[in-house]
Amino acid sequence: MPAEDLKIKHIEPTLYNDDLAPLEHAKRNWGSFEIFNVWSNDIQSLFGYTLAATLFISYGLSGWAVLAGIVLAGFIVMGLVQLTGKPSVKYGVPFPVMARASMGVRGANFPALVRAIVAIFWYGVQSYFASTAVALLLNSVTGASTEPVFLGLSAIGWLSYVLVCAFQVMLFMRGIEWITKFLNWAGPFVYAVMIVLMIVIWYKASPSLLDELGTIFSGQGEFAAGPVAAFATVVGTMVAYFAAVVINYGDFARFVKSQKQMTIGNFLGLPVSLAIFSLIALIITAGTVVVFGETLTNPTDIIARVDNLTLTIIAAITFFAATVGINLVANFIPPAYDIANLAPARISARTGGFITAAIAFVIGALWIAFISKVGIAGFVDTLGAVLAPLYGIIVADYYLVRKQQLNLQDLFSTETSGAYYYDNGWNRKAMLAFGAASVFSVCTVWVPSLSIFSGYSWLFGAFLGAALHYLLMRKQVALVAVTE
């Protein structure tokens, strides 16, 4: 692939700042290992472990079928991010800028804002969960009281929460190089500790562990809709878990030196890492049945039962690192760019990060006392459903409408003759495609008769968005070839 001219010759202040500008090839220092660790940190969170363990025991499928579904989901997600990552590797632009090609230079603010809202909410929630790991560490060492003193948190809980929030902001302020170093350390470290925990459980459960594993792999119970639907649900659930990162994957891909290294990192970090981590989760889960007499899928519950101070301290550090890792990857860096895209002349990515941290601090602080009790899941799931058609639109526009060719200068231009100015900066056809496709995605959240699609509605929503956008834009395909 010939080197692209990534210099912007005519800067429009309302669309440009140094954080959104195309990243030149000489300034990129990510390889396959860094991409692998993006996915490792995403997979190895507390929720990621619990999800993988739960899938093996919830749908009546054999363990091999569940493992096959998880690996298939890994390949699907790999394919999805290859599509969104390729243009960012080529042109060096983050997701909000890439969205301008399909949505318009002003219309791109809409998907960026929706993505930012989802990410900020989960950033606050994940910050709280990361603080529970720190609180576990402090309580195990000091023996301090766990009685709540304010908004459902103890004094140690508040101290832990403030420390986690401050640590994440400090790391963000140090820049992408420090974040990269943290991810590169956290990924392998979490893997090592999970393997140690697996060995401890295996030692305590042996020789009955193999019998329990055989029971799980033979399948237990039944899924009302049948084995095919159960398999589809496993695949869809795992794909949905990564949905938040899939759409803004370009925020990370722009730092990669080449598409080949991105592909290798995606392969090792998704299907391969998912398979290994899921097997570890399965072995530990089977061991808890033998050792503790019940199925435990939450790592913190397992550590509490093991009752070993050294292991508790190491595990607490591990859970903290894993949760902070996914928070940085999925919920901090993306909204920082998204908010900067709203007003580049006044808001840098760093300022966007401060805004993200401030709002998220309030959300996390209110999680126990208020937010977790008001049914907020429907709101968040709705916003997530909205993102699916946007992914389809952006991908269809780049690959089918524009034939993988962008006018980089026009992505930062408000000239009426610009390729992405459309109608006052908004592509009405893309908005129409989004509106129609998002109806289905949102209905799967709220309409009971469509709840069967809830596990994999993201894929349907993305496909509908892509198909409708291409159909509405097909008359412009010839014009695009001429103008670009």
The pLDDT tens digits of the residues spanning 149-188 come to 888 888 998 999 999 999 999 988 888 788 888 888 887 8
pLDDT tens profile 408-440: 999 999 899 888 999 999 999 999 999 899 888
Q: What was the pLDDT predicted at 2?
A: 45
| pLDDT score at 449 | 80
What would the pLDDT profile of 314-335 be if each residue is shown by its tens digit? 878 877 887 888 788 778 888 8
Q: Name which of 55-59, 108-112, 135-139 the model is least confident about.
A: 55-59
pLDDT for position 178: 85
Q: What does the domain layout of the chain look like in residue ranges? A: 27-374, 376-484
The band of 134, judged by pLDDT with boundaries at 50, 70 and 90, is: confident
Structure-block tokens of residue 328? 């940085």
Percent with pLDDT over 90 in the chain: 31
- Higher confidence at residue 200 or residue 70? 70
More confident residue, 35 or 6: 35
Residues whose CB falls within 8 Å of the CB of residue 194, separated by 6 or more in sequence, listed in order: 44, 49, 277, 280, 284, 318
For the residues 209-215, what does the mean pLDDT come to? Answer: 75
Q: Given a cut of 60, is residue 479 above it in pLDDT?
A: no
Tokens of 277: 């981590």
How confident is the prediction for the chain on average, in pLDDT? 84
Residue with tokens 């394919």: 79
pLDDT in tens, 360-395: 999 888 887 887 776 665 666 676 677 889 999 999
Per-residue model confidence as pLDDT tens digits over 260-282? 999 999 999 999 999 998 888 88
At residue 219, the pLDDT reads: 61
| Fold of the domain spanning 27-374 | Hydantoin permease (1.10.4160)
Give the long-range contacts of residues 153-156, CB within 8 A, separation 24 or more. 153/365, 153/368
Q: What is the pLDDT of residue 222?
A: 61
Higher pLDDT, 42 or 396: 396
